[in-house]
Amino acid sequence: MLGHVDHGKTSLTRMLTGKWTDTHSEELKRGITIKIGYADASFYKCLKCKPAVFSAKEECPSCKSKSKLLRRVSFLDAPGHETLMTTAISASSIIDGAILVIAANEHCPQPQTAEHMSVIEILGIKNIVIIQNKVDLVSKEKAMENYKQIKNFTKGTVAQNAPVIPISANNNVNLDSVIEAIEEYVKTPKRSQAAKPLMYVTRSFDINKPGSSIESIKGGVIGGSLIQGSLKVGDTIELRPGITKKLKDSESVEPVILSVSELHCSEESVQSVGPGGLIGIGTTLDPSITKSDTLVGNLVGHPGSLPDVKSEIEVEPSLLKRTEFENVPFKPNDPVVLSVGTATTIGLVLKTKANRLYLKLKRPICASPKSKLALSRRIGQRWRLCGYGILV
């Protein structure tokens, strides 16, 4: 779920899944998404109705008969606020398709609508559905004017031929058309279960409640998406770059090998998982290490199968055309925020040479050559998306 702040991404997620993904206290207080929200939904199709009715429940809302299960889909609700763009970029790195939410009662494009479209194009996401939300708040003429703005905005982009579905998320209007569009335009890609497992870590947390007895304490949990391969309970896995260890005058990051003690998918305990969707891995790690998303940005795989950990990298950059600020080439000592996979780190430009950036990273990354990185630069008091790069 991508789009400008307060355009209805979280409301649409609830409409599809029944879950309100803003659960953190600061999110509830401020009414915006700060951390990535997660929710799963089952999509059904009633074959008795003509035309067929799509829904998120087994009972057909039209004829009340039992519908056919099509598939289960995991949703990531990304923050829309510009200062949280690195979190949105992290969400985008593990998805198979994007739903771009645009409010009908505001001019299109809004700043983060444009930035999220840039993220979609940078990451090469081609399966897109556009949702025109809040049509209940405007007249038919205003909705049509906004629709024309959307088509003009997407012209020449990867979303040029994406469907535009008008809805009212707060009133559950047009849910069947949204599901039908997702089924048609965001197919489940073919993934290899035979390949070595590779998982991006998007969350890590401590599931133990305060006051738990020592005997009942469970190990830390890491969550994310398995891109390829499979995992089962009892497997030995490696976490890279790993765990940060504070030394007397500095800190180091060391890979760690651990065991899979539990696996969870859609809040159900399972013995094995394949690629696709969101999973949670119960580990033997001390829960104090995994709390508060400390391990976000790590990769998980079989020991010895993951890319090398790098603290100095070479990047081939491509800058975006930005009208809001002057997007000049980087120069030595410029700070840069880099987002690769689900990892976000700050780099300092050591030197530039023949369209190459040589960067020293504050926090090391684990990434393969030719990986795409999103680049953000400091403009005033904010980090703004300015381009992308290829890891050389």
**Reduced to 3 states, what is the DSSP secondary structure of residue 180?**
helix
Fold of the CATH domain 2-185: Rossmann fold (3.40.50)
Please provide residue 206's backbone torsions phi and psi, each rounded to the nearest 5 degrees: -105, 120
Name which residue leads in pLDDT, 155 or 10.
155
pLDDT band at 373 (very low <50, low <70, confident <90, very high): confident
> Across residues 350-372, what is the average pLDDT?
92
Residue with token string 């290490």: 289
Mean pLDDT, the chain, integer: 86
What tens digit of pLDDT does each residue of 115-168 get? 888 878 877 788 999 999 999 999 999 999 999 999 999 999 999 999 999 999
- Helix, strand, coil shares, percent, the chain, to 5: 20, 40, 40
Please name which of 44, 10, 14 lies closest in space to residue 27, comparing C-alpha atoms: 10
pLDDT at 23: 46
Q: Return phi, psi of residue 292, to 5°.
A: 60, 35
Give 345's strand partners.
338
Q: How far apart are the first and last CA of the chain?
A: 30
pLDDT in tens, 291-329: 988 998 899 999 999 999 999 999 999 888 777 788 899
Residues 6+ apart with CB under 8 A from 176: 53, 54, 55, 61
Helix and strand totals (H; E) in the chain: 7, 22
Phi, psi for residue 289 in degrees, rounded to 5: -80, -30
- Predicted TM-score (pTM) of the model is 0.74
User: In the CATH scheme, what is the code of domain 309-391?
Assistant: 2.40.30.10
Pick the more confident residue, 205 or 30: 205
For residue 381, name the pLDDT band (cuts at 50, 70, 90). Answer: confident
Query: 369, 391 in Cβ contact below 8 A?
Result: yes
- The answer on pLDDT for 26 being more than 80 is no
Q: Is 173 helix (H, G, I), strand (E, B) or coil?
A: strand
Please report the pLDDT score of residue 91 as a whole number.
52
Going by the DSSP 8-state scheme, the letter that residue 172 receives in this structure is T
Separation CA 257–CA 4 (nearest Å): 40
Instruction: For residue range 190-227, list pLDDT tens digits in order.
Output: 877 788 999 989 889 898 988 889 889 999 999 888 88
For the chain, give every residue range classified as CATH 3.40.50.300: 2-185
Sign of CA dihedral 161, 390, 290, 307: positive
pLDDT at position 85: 58
**316: Cβ–Cβ under 8 A, 6 or more apart, which residues?**
355, 356, 357, 389, 390, 392
Task: Name which residue leads in pLDDT, 123 or 384.
Answer: 384
Q: Is residue 11 within 8 Å of residue 170, measured between CB atoms?
A: yes
Domain with CATH 2.40.30.10 in the chain: 198-301, 309-391
Q: pLDDT band for position 382 (50/70/90)?
A: confident
pLDDT of 24 > 50? The answer is no
User: Contact 81/39 with Cβ under 8 angstroms?
Assistant: no
Give mean pLDDT, residues 220-242. Answer: 92
pLDDT at 374 over 90: no
When pLDDT is cut at 50, 70 and 90, the band that residue 31 belongs to is: very low
Phi, psi angles (nearest 5°) of residue 309: -85, 130
CB 185 within 8 Å of CB 128: yes
Topology (CATH) of 198-301: Elongation Factor Tu (Ef-tu); domain 3 (2.40.30)
